[in-house]
Amino acid sequence: MKKLALLALALPFIACETTIDFEGELADPQIVVSPVDYNSSSEDYYGPYGFHPDLDTAEIVLSTSINILDVGYPEPLGDASVQIRERGGAWRSFVGSNVDGYYTLSPFQFEEGKSYEFKASRTNYESVSGDFSIPVKVEVDDVRLIRKVEGDTMIGEPNYWEYEVEFTDPGGARYYSMSAYLVTTQFPHEVISRYVITSTSPFAQALSDGDYYYYTDALYMNNSLFEGRKVSITIRVQQPLVPIPSYSFAIVLRSLDEHAYKYNSSIQRYNFFGGGGDPFSQPVQVYTNIQNGLGFVGGYSLDIELD
Amino acid sequence: MRKTLLLLFLCASAYGWGQTHTVNGYVSDASSGEKIIYAYVYDRVSGIGTRTNDYGFYSLNLTGDTASLLVSFISFTPQEISMKLVGTDIPLNIELIPDNLIEEVLIEESKTEVPIQEESQMSTIRLDVRQVRNLPVLLGETDLLKTIQLLPGVQSGSEGSSGFYVRGGGPDQNLVLIDGVPVYNVSHLFGFFSIFNGDAVKSVELIKGGFPAEYGGRLSSVLDIRMKEGNMREFHGEGSIGLISSRFTFEGPIWKDRTSFIFSARRTYIDALVAPLIAAVEDGTSVGYYFYDLNGKVNHRFNDNHHLYFSIYNGLDKFSASDEYEYFDSGTKYTDRFSSGLDWGNTISSLRWNWRVNSSLFLNTTATYTRYKFNVDVEEETKVEGPGVDYREFFAANYLSDIEDYGVRFDFDWFPHPNHEVKFGGAYVNHTFRPGINTFESSADSSAGLDTTYGSTIQYANEFQIYARDNFDITDRLKVNLGVHASLFNIGSENYTSVQPRVSARYLLNDKSSIKASYANMTQFLHLLTNQTTGLPTDLWVPATENIRPQQSWQVAMGYAQSLPWDLQFSAEVYYKEMSNLIEYQEGAGFFLGSTDWQSKVTVGRGTSYGLELLLEKKVGKTTGWIGYTLSKSTRQFDEVNFGNPYPYTYDRRHDLSIALTHKLSDTWTFGAVFVYGTGNAVTLPTAQFVDVNTGQLIEYVDQRNNYRAPSYHRLDLSFTHTKKVRWGESIWQFGIYNVYSRQNPFYLYFQNTVDGRELRQVSLFPILPSVSWSFKF
């Protein structure tokens, strides 16, 4: 009787669960497009994904998406026709691998200020396409070390060095990313390691939970708050290694097209906040500019400033 | 300047021209002396009518030699008074007898209140509190806000929640007033119950658009709740014993016909109910939860010209959990103690002075105080005691946030002319925001102690408001309510000003129907950082800042109103609303994370909403209630959400149908039924998976924010109320069934992995729930 009474008391608080039908918009597999940088020998400043002028080879990986209700791992997609061209120019075809979905076009030189078109097709999949451009490089005017700070251990803040980075925005809708690397002084393209950075500057749009600014591989920002102006952004670099004479510190400013900016910043946010799953956090969307597919094509140019 | 003054003088004088007799006074309940709000005072001779204001005062400017006043209000017997009009100031206090005190009631058709077609104010619904009590409710707990959710244009949040969303607006955009004082959090038990104790409520008015000029500071609605004043003549009490809470109200005269009081209390006993369950699970563990409400009011009538009121509300939700264990090993005692608490609540108070300045001018002055606070604390202590060992480690953390307002406002009602009802006034509010203060204390025998406080800077803001409006007849058929509300918000060195024009108009097509239109411009200087879904007490009120500007909206509405046979009233309204400077959490932002610099985790955007609302209502007779239907669409657009593209608002509900009926089966039995149907809420679900080849991470791809419609929501509730007169008063039993056909309505959705793949699971909260409660009156 006592148990029955307890059950009756608990009745209002018992939640019921049922399985419901779900038919998402993208139930059928789609082609997923990912620009990569596996084999180019021109630079080592790994970071955001996208095509850029320092490459002498265009590289791309195609894979397939799977239904959200499927359990498994999406597979690479071989046997596809992949083409690219400068807008209005002639199409050039990638050479593909049937196994790992890896396609290359070499030699191929992207140029700043140019727009490109991309398309891919494969049997049993809808053909996909996308447009992108390589923005004209914006140069860093100055990089200065301001101070070395001991972080607040109460909130788990690391020690950091604070740099001020200046550059001039040319105006129009522009997108940037900023990263910090330790390089060899003699060969600035030889990256020893990449540092995580953050910034409390409103211009930098660093990931934050409101109280704490997270250290990440790159800061992604648009110029909505400094369009057409010279801007000075203070960044915090998580305490670098003790300086060694033969090493230098490099700040890399990338000018991204809208697609590279949106994809890279959204994937960073997704990776950082864990995507969905937390009912008490906002969902994170990953960008795509692929018609009838997923992934992205986009471009950037970069400027490297040694400290 | 002199010409302007002369013009103003001439205009003002023009009101006074002509020989008018000003019949004025209060309309009150004959049984208790309680003032009646919105009572209809209508002169059959001249055809001029008015209604009592928020304090029961009316003033009617009449010409001619005689008048025949019909005074009426729902649930009261209409009274007709014939009189000769002699002199300019004719004081006349009127008392109405409640229906339940006489044997037979004759109610003249359509004259129990201002007929719907004659009201110039549109988008406004007044609830009959007595009817609310006869409607079936969750767990037998009478809840005003859940009844409000049944009205067209008002949407509920999640299952069981008392949050409400008006015409596509957010929960922060509702100005909820208790006796004219804003309430910042209206929920108990994470939103399942509202803070309003139905026994202490006198009147409820909801305004969804065409806002009168006296209201400001919120975009989407005004919910004006007035509490009872206390019986001036006799001591009375009423109470209720329900499944999860009980309440009690006591009122009476302190000085007959001069001073009265009312006191009301409500408390849950969930903690007592759950305690045996917790104890059965584990020793040393304790979990508790309760909420309570206290309402008090004292009023004193000095004479017919001066009246003073003091009211106070205090409510608290308190959740606590603790765990303690100890054990011995080799003569050493190990103790670990952990406790945490979560409490939140409002304190609201007002001191009001009514002054009947003269027959046509009435002043209400109110000093107000409101505070909402939210507090979390955690404590942990570890002790090791034994031979040669005496070690203690202690950690305590506390998080406090609150908003606190002091204010004063002046409201004048001026009746200068038979065709003009003017209202003007001003207000000042001092806001204090403490949006998150953390304190830490820790110590260990082996290290130095730490005791520190950090968090948000306390912010102070000043808000000034002035307003004026005139409700006037242009012709016999055309009536216009024209006003303006101006405000200034000062925070730090930032000043925001806003001039908000308001206009509504009614044109009588014939004596039974009219068309109406309104325009309202609104500004809101406060933002609520909220997760929009669960009604958590962690929601933070924050002020507009240099970067996050005040919310703005404008709304137009057009409507048709008609009185139908059998005391039915029908209204249809279409509206369009645009809102700007709305805030939303950025993608990925967690609601439980800190908020010292809350501006960095929000994004600013805008929203639109439009729709059609139909309401068929019956307020008198054996069968009363309404059928409401809303067809609407509501979207949001933020730069940093959904890649800047518009998306459906979470509570974008295409179809929303509510039927609420009560029927008097006999002298003792009343039947109540509620049926609701609503399009499912918009939720965000991933639709595909792919691999980010550079990191190898599996990405769950979301094509659009709020891309999926949860299953539709529908439910039928029934109740039977038995009211019996007994020697000492009334005994009322209410038997209810919530969710009669046990519909599994969605509370939230999630994906779950199974052996065959994944499936979408729906969690539902309340199956069929019978309830019983006993109420009494004496």
- Domain with residue B62: its CATH number is 2.60.40.1120
Among the partner-chain residues A12, A17, A74, the one whose CB lies closest to the CB of B139 is: A12
For all residues of chain B together, what is the average pLDDT? 85
Strands (E), B167-284: 174-178, 181-182, 187-188, 193-194, 201-207, 221-227, 236-241, 245-255, 259-268
pLDDT level of residue A40 (50, 70, 90 thresholds): low
CB spacing of A19 vs B759 below 8 angstroms = yes
Contacts of A294 in chain B (CB under 8 A): 688, 690, 701
Among the partner-chain residues B598, B702, B757, the one whose CB lies closest to the CB of A210 is: B598
Q: Does A288 touch chain B (CB under 8 A)?
A: yes
Minimum distance, in Å, between the CA of residue B429 and any CA atom of chain A: 28
User: Mean pLDDT throughout B593-615?
Assistant: 81
**Range with lowest mean pLDDT among A67-71, B520-524, B579-583:** A67-71
Among the partner-chain residues A65, A69, A271, the one whose CB lies closest to the CB of B758 is: A69
* B88 and B172 within one domain: no
For all residues of chain A together, what is the average pLDDT? 84
Q: Could you tell me which chain B residue has the CA closest to the CA of A25? A: B687
Higher pLDDT, B1 or B493: B493
**pLDDT tens digits for B480-492?**
999 999 999 998 8
In 3-state terms, what secondary structure has residue A113?
coil
Contacts of B753 in chain A (CB under 8 A): 71
CATH number, residue B491: 2.40.170.20
User: Mean pLDDT throughout A108-129?
Assistant: 94
Residues 232-251 of A with CB under 8 A from B: none
Q: Which domain holds residue B431?
A: 124-777
Minimum distance, in Å, between the CA of residue A183 and any CA atom of chain B: 22
- The DSSP 8-state label assigned to residue A4 in this structure reads H
CB spacing of A18 vs B585 below 8 angstroms = no
Q: Does A123 touch chain B (CB under 8 A)?
A: no
* B720 and B666 within one domain: yes
Q: Choose from A40-49, A92-101, A288-297 the range with maximum mean pLDDT.
A: A288-297
**pLDDT tens digits for B706-761?**
988 999 999 999 999 999 988 888 899 989 898 899 898 888 888 888 887 888 88
pLDDT level of residue B14 (50, 70, 90 thresholds): very low
Q: Does A136 touch chain B (CB under 8 A)?
A: no
CB spacing of A25 vs B753 below 8 angstroms = no
Higher pLDDT, B402 or B517: B517
What is residue B319's predicted lDDT score, i.e. its pLDDT? 86
What is residue A42's predicted lDDT score, i.e. its pLDDT? 47
* B41 and B187 within one domain: no
CB of A229 closer than 8 Å to CB of A168: yes
Higher pLDDT, B728 or B135: B728
**pLDDT tens digits for B542-576?**
888 887 899 999 999 999 999 888 888 999 999 99
Any domain includes B620: yes
CB spacing of B688 vs A36 below 8 angstroms = no
Q: A2-10 and B270-281 are packed helices; what angle lies between their axes, rounded to 10 degrees?
A: 120
Residues 50-109 of A with CB under 8 A from B: 61, 63-71, 73-74
CB spacing of A284 vs B699 below 8 angstroms = no
What is residue B11's predicted lDDT score, i.e. its pLDDT? 44
pLDDT level of residue B13 (50, 70, 90 thresholds): very low
Q: Does A27 touch chain B (CB under 8 A)?
A: yes
Any domain includes B83: yes
B509 bridge partner residues: none
Contacts of B761 in chain A (CB under 8 A): 17-20
Residue B53 burial by Cβ neighbours in a 10 Å radius (0-12, 13-18, 19+):
buried
pLDDT level of residue A3 (50, 70, 90 thresholds): low
B130 bridge partner residues: none
* B706 and B581 within one domain: yes
Among the partner-chain residues A20, A68, A209, the one whose CB lies closest to the CB of B590 is: A209
* B276 and B425 within one domain: yes
CB spacing of B763 vs A64 below 8 angstroms = no
- Is A7 a residue whose pLDDT tops 60? no
**Range with lowest mean pLDDT among B205-209, B276-280, B436-440:** B276-280
**Range with lowest mean pLDDT among B240-244, B278-282, B324-328, B624-628:** B278-282
Contacts of A61 in chain B (CB under 8 A): 693
User: Mean pLDDT throughout B141-154?
Assistant: 86
pLDDT level of residue B110 (50, 70, 90 thresholds): very low
User: Mean pLDDT throughout A74-84?
Assistant: 92
Any domain includes B113: no
- Is B5 a residue whose pLDDT tops 60? no
What is residue B15's predicted lDDT score, i.e. its pLDDT? 45
Q: How far apart are CA B345 and CA B370, in angstroms?
A: 11
* B303 and B210 within one domain: yes
- The helix (run of H) or strand (run of E) holding residue A182 is strand A175-184
- Is A188 a residue whose pLDDT tops 90? no
Q: Which of B67, B101, B135 is the last residue of a domain?
A: B101
pLDDT level of residue B306 (50, 70, 90 thresholds): very high
- Token pair listed for B200: 């202490």
CB spacing of A276 vs B769 below 8 angstroms = no
- Is B4 a residue whose pLDDT tops 50? no
Any domain includes B89: yes
Q: How far apart are CA A120 and CA A52, in angstroms?
A: 20
pLDDT level of residue A189 (50, 70, 90 thresholds): confident
Residues 683-702 of B with CB under 8 A from A: 684-695, 697-702
CB spacing of B588 vs A24 below 8 angstroms = no
Q: Does A174 touch chain B (CB under 8 A)?
A: no
Q: Does B755 touch chain A (CB under 8 A)?
A: no
What is residue A129's predicted lDDT score, i.e. its pLDDT? 96
Any domain includes B9: no
B573 HSE (CA, 13 A, CB side): 32
Q: Which of B101, B133, B148 is the last residue of a domain?
A: B101
* B624 and B558 within one domain: yes
Q: Does A8 touch chain B (CB under 8 A)?
A: no
* B368 and B297 within one domain: yes
CB spacing of A20 vs B277 below 8 angstroms = no
In 3-state terms, what secondary structure has residue B133?
helix
Count CB atoms within 10 A of the CB of residue B151.
23
Q: How far apart are CA B486 and CA B499, in angstroms?
A: 4
Q: Which among B496, B514, B495 is positioned nearest to B505, based on CA atoms?
A: B514
Q: Does A212 touch chain B (CB under 8 A)?
A: yes
Higher pLDDT, A236 or B765: A236
pLDDT level of residue B438 (50, 70, 90 thresholds): low
What is residue B166's predicted lDDT score, i.e. its pLDDT? 93
Q: Does B283 touch chain A (CB under 8 A)?
A: no
What is residue A55's predicted lDDT score, i.e. its pLDDT? 78
* B138 and B45 within one domain: no
* B751 and B640 within one domain: yes
Among the partner-chain residues B594, B695, B769, the one whose CB lies closest to the CB of A271 is: B695
What is residue B359's predicted lDDT score, i.e. its pLDDT? 86
Count CB atoms within 10 A of the CB of residue A3.
8
Report the percent of chain B where pLDDT is more than 70.
Answer: 89
What is residue B590's predicted lDDT score, i.e. its pLDDT? 63
**pLDDT tens digits for A140-174?**
999 998 988 887 766 667 788 899 999 999 999 99
- Token pair listed for B170: 């957010």
Q: Could you tell me which chain A residue has the CA closest to the CA of B686? A: A68
Q: How far apart are CA A288 and CA A260, in angstroms?
A: 10
Contacts of A19 in chain B (CB under 8 A): 759-762
Q: Testing the interface with A: which of B604, B645, B699, B756 to mutate, by most A Cβ within 10 A?
A: B699
Any domain includes B202: yes
**Range with lowest mean pLDDT among A91-100, A235-244, B175-184, B275-284:** B275-284
Q: How far apart are CA A228 and CA A240, in angstroms?
A: 32
- Token pair listed for B434: 């403490």
Q: Which domains does chain A have, with CATH numbers?
A: 140-257 (2.60.40)
Q: Does B681 touch chain A (CB under 8 A)?
A: no
DSSP string, B719-744: EEEEEEEETTEEEEEEEEEESTT---
pLDDT level of residue A182 (50, 70, 90 thresholds): confident
User: Mean pLDDT throughout B500-508?
Assistant: 93
CB spacing of A202 vs B547 below 8 angstroms = yes
* B160 and B23 within one domain: no
- Is B655 a residue whose pLDDT tops 70? yes
Domain count, chain B: 2
Q: Does A19 touch chain B (CB under 8 A)?
A: yes
What is residue B12's predicted lDDT score, i.e. its pLDDT? 43
Q: Does B708 touch chain A (CB under 8 A)?
A: yes
CB spacing of A208 vs B597 below 8 angstroms = yes
Contacts for B287 with CB less than 8 Å, ≥ 6 apart:
B274, B278, B320, B321
CB spacing of B707 vs A208 below 8 angstroms = no
- Is A191 a residue whose pLDDT tops 80? no
Q: Which of B101, B133, B166 is the last residue of a domain?
A: B101
B676 HSE (CA, 13 A, CB side): 28
Q: Does B741 touch chain A (CB under 8 A)?
A: no
Minimum distance, in Å, between the CA of residue A30 and any CA atom of chain B: 9
What is residue B64's predicted lDDT score, i.e. its pLDDT? 83
CA dihedral B644, B648, B650, B654 (to 10 degrees): 170
Strands (E), B550-686: 551-564, 568-585, 602-618, 623-638, 647-648, 655-664, 669-678, 682-683
* B486 and B397 within one domain: yes
Contacts of A262 in chain B (CB under 8 A): 643
Q: Does B235 touch chain A (CB under 8 A)?
A: no
Any domain includes B114: no
Among the partner-chain residues A26, A66, A262, the one whose CB lies closest to the CB of B643 is: A262
Any domain includes B356: yes
Q: Could you tell me which chain B residue has the CA closest to the CA of A282? A: B588
Among the partner-chain residues B590, B689, B769, the one whose CB lies closest to the CB of A12 is: B769
